[in-house]
Amino acid sequence: MQEQTTQARKFIGIEELRPLPEKPRLPRRPPVIVFDPARCTGCSTCEMVCSQRNVDKVAPVSSSVKVVHSEEQGKNFAILCLHCREPLCMEACPVRAIDKDEAGIVRIRRVFCVECGICTLACPEAAPLQEPFTGRMRKCDLCDGDPLCAKHCPEDALHFYRGKALGWIRLLRWPVQLVSFLLLVVVLVGTFCSFTAGIVSLPCPTGTLQNIASTQTLVLVTLASALVLIGITILFGRVFCGWVCPFGFFLDLVGSVVPKFGLPKFLKSRMIKYGILAGAVGGAAGLGFQPFCTVCPIGSICRSYGPGGVIKGAELAIVPVIAGLELGVRRSWCRSFCPVGAVLALAAKIGIIKIVIGAHQCKKFSCMQCADTCPMGIIDREALREGIAPKIPMDECIMCLRCVDTCPYQSAKIRFRWQKTIPGEVKAWTYS
Amino acid sequence: MSRRDDIRSVMVASRAFACVECGRCVAVCPMAEMYPNFSIEMSPRGVIKKVLMDADILSDEHLWYCTECNAGTDVCPAGVSDRDLIRGLRHLAIVSGKVQEVRTCQGCGEQYVPVHVMEFISERLKEEPTEFLNMCPACRRKVYLMRNA
């Protein structure tokens, strides 16, 4: 008996009847209802209009959006389907009755659904509901692209977005990077390491550290001018890495072309760069010259263009090697190796600016576009999946503002460090 | 009232005595997709048969695989409500304290899903973070309220 059933399953399982569709392409502007808890008054208008559409009577039990209240803390929260990018309900459904159409709306196909309720159990918010009048599973279908709840919300706490990204920061960043690349490489030859314009001199902080270590003398003017870059970093984050660094620009160009294969684990640690920095400074003290500066890819690329318009080959030898690292992950040099970045990371750690994602806007990020686009890979996908605003380590952030640029719901923002943006540190999946 | 009478009243309420053993409920049962060891003992037909044979259905672990879906009820020609039958028998099993293969919610302590169903879900979602599976739907919403509002 047992063997017979397994054999029969082999021939006509659900895999053969309704195979899982290919991973659908994410629509460029995924529709979603974004909920702002700061505005919600808990009036339940959304429940009423939703149930009116669902079962043609005003009965909040059968609505697809659910408002939960906390009387002690005076909080209201709307639970609704977010039409995730990779819906868990779709994966868990035993009869493959749930699918995601081209517009990005996750629907239950009525003909196939057997009302087992597994989608509710698989959803982190338990958004699909068993509707008590007919016993059928109900879930939000965004009213086919014109959600009533968002239309009727008196406080505009539910807002229907058809994801629209800012898109103009990119148009600003690439020219700035190009201009600074040309400026540092072609116009001011050999000048990132000690950039001199008249009386102002802006040396590289890592070079300065090595210089101090090797010569054992502290030149106050050099130190003070090196502190200018540190000061900029404290004020604005690592804007140098994201917007100015000529080698970073080069890596961005390379990284947008080459395919990615992932890095081995021992190269992934972000602490390597601090090790290289310590080694460079220590080595400078021992050797009497700046050991890292001779191989520094930023310096090499700056010094490569000679006054006569000739590209000097010898110094550029290190560049293709490091550009090869780009085959692993984007900006892999900046992530784990660059000691210049390490100095700036230490400064950015005490900086006054932070990037927040999901400040009162997007409770659970189904699109993951910020995590996809981040060149440093610092946006925590697990936190996004669980619906927690991810902590962004500002020492690793290069302030390229790609996340701010691409977020379709404009919930990635720049804030001061002291501004409160998330409702307290609540651990995941425990009661307060 | 004895336990047998309880079972009998559950059978009457869900019209299970009208079962004609046509096997349509087994044909549409989603458990066949969910469990590799799906057998007639798990199916509503097998459960009804066992009750009629006077077997000890309440301490039978096969009672705890059903997802309480509506597929069998939809197709049944005799109008047996499989969902009510399984629910009633599970209720009796819990109150008589025989087998309790039920997951308990970490937040409120409600018994919200049979163990086997939850095993199926967590196997399907094994690439995802699944801490939320330990909570009943109502508590998940409450956690969202606490965390994000």
Fold annotation for A353-416: Alpha-Beta Plaits (3.30.70)
Q: Does residue A430 carry a pLDDT above 60?
A: no
Nearest CA in chain A to B67: A116
The answer, yes or no, to whether residue A129 has pLDDT greater than 90, is: no
Determine, for residues B131 and A386 on separate chains, whether the beta-carbon distance falls below 8 Å: yes
- % chain B with pLDDT above 90: 15
A15, closest residue in chain B (CA to CA): B33
The shortest CB-CB distance from A125 to any of B39, B40, B141 is to B141
What is the pLDDT, as a whole number, of residue A216? Answer: 75
Do A426 and B146 lie within an 8 Å CB cutoff?
Answer: yes
CA pair distance A195, A298, nearest whole angstrom: 13
What digits encode the pLDDT tens for the residues A326-360? 888 888 888 888 888 888 888 888 888 888 887 55
B7–chain A nearest CA distance, Å: 24
Q: Is A61 on the interface with B (CB under 8 A)?
A: no
* A359 reaches B (C-beta below 8 A): no
Query: For residue A360, which of A157, A202, A161, A203 has the smallest C-alpha distance?
Result: A157
Between A and B, how many CB-CB pairs are < 8 A? 129
With a cut of 80, say whether residue A364 has pLDDT above it: no
Instruction: Say yes or no for a CB contact (<8 Å) between B120 and A120.
Output: no
Burial A326-352 (b: 16+ CB within 10 A, else e): bebbbbbbbbbbbbbbbbbbebbeebe
Q: Is B20 exposed, middle or buried (0-12, 13-18, 19+ CB in 10 A)?
A: exposed
Does the structure show a pLDDT above 80 at A202? no
Pick from A1, A2, A37: which is nearest to B148 by CB? A37
Q: How far is CA B99 from the centre of its chain?
A: 13
Inter-chain CB proximity B107 and A431 less than 8 Å:
yes
The ipTM of this complex is 0.89
| pLDDT, mean of residues A72-97 | 86
At B110 the three-state DSSP class reads coil
> In this complex, do A1 and B40 lie within 8 Å of one another by their Cβ atoms?
yes
A432 pLDDT band (50/70/90 cuts)?
Answer: very low
The domains of chain A are located at: 25-161, 186-236+244-333, 353-416
A375-422: pLDDT as tens digits? 888 888 877 777 677 888 888 898 889 888 888 777 788 888 887 765
Q: What is the pLDDT of residues A40-71, one digit of tens each?
A: 888 999 999 999 998 888 988 889 998 998 88
Q: Which residues contact A377 (CB under 8 A, 6 or more apart)?
A: A329, A330, A335, A371
User: SS3 letters for chain A?
Assistant: CHHHHHHHHHHCCHHHHCCCCCCCCCCCCCCEEEECCCCCCCCCHHHHHHHHHHHCCCCHHHCCCEEEEECCCCEEEEECCCCCCCCHHHHHCCCCCEEECCCCCEEECCCCCCCCCHHHHHCCCCCCEECCCCCCEECCCHHHCCCHHHHHCCCCCEEEECCCCCCCHHHHHHHHHHHHHHHHHHHCCCCCCEEEECCEEEECHHHHHHHHHHHCCCCHHHHHHHHHHHHHHHHHCCHHHHHHCHHHHHHHHHHCCCCCCCCCHHHCCCCHHHHHHHHHHHHHHHHCCCHHHHHCHHHHHHHCECCCCCECCHHHHHHHHHHHHCCCCCCHHHHHCCHHHHHHHHHHHCCCEEEEECCCCCCCCCCCHHHHHCCCCCCCHHHHHHCCCCCCCCCCCCCCCHHHHHCCCCCEEEEECCCCCCCCCCCCCCCC
Alpha-carbon distance of A412 to B33, in angstroms, equals 42
Distance CA A250, CA A261 (A): 19
pTM greater than 0.95:
no
Cα Rg of chain A (Å, integer)? 27
Q: Does position B60 have pLDDT exceeding 80, yes or no?
A: yes
Closest-CA distance, A272 to chain B, in angstroms, reads 29
Q: Find residues 243-302 of chain A whose CB sits inside 8 Å of chain B.
A: none
Q: Which residues on chain B are in Cβ contact (under 8 Å) with A423?
A: 147-149
Identify whether the C-beta of residue B110 lies closer than 8 Å to the C-beta of residue B94: no
For the stretch B79-122, pLDDT in tens is 999 889 999 999 998 888 887 788 899 888 888 889 999 999 98
Q: Please indicate if any CB of chain A lies within 8 Å of the CB of B71.
A: yes
Q: Do domains A25-161 and A353-416 have the same CATH topology?
A: yes
Please answer yes or no on whether A121 and B117 come within 8 Å at the CB atom.
yes
* Among chain B residues, CA nearest to A117: B69
Class of residue A132 by CB neighbours under 10 A (exposed 0-12, middle 13-18, buried 19+): exposed
The CATH number given to A25-161 is 3.30.70.20
Task: Confirm or reject contact between A386 and chain B (CB < 8 A).
Answer: yes
pLDDT at A314: 63
What rounded mean pLDDT belongs to chain A?
A: 80
- The two tokens of residue B20 are 């004609």
Cβ distance of A117 and B140 shorter than 8 Å: no
Name chain A contacts of B149, Cβ cutoff 8 Å.
Answer: 37, 40, 70, 73, 75-77, 423
Burial zone of A376 (CB within 10 Å; 0-12 exposed, 13-18 middle, 19+ buried): buried
Closest partner residue to A115 (CB to CB) among B31, B70, B138 is B70
Helices (H), chain B: 3-13, 24-28, 31-34, 44-52, 71-75, 82-95, 115-124, 137-148
* A77 at B interface, C-beta within 8 A: yes
Q: Please report the pLDDT score of residue A71 as a whole number.
A: 86
What domains does chain B contain, in order, with CATH numbers?
A: 3-95 (1.10.1060.10), 102-148 (no CATH)
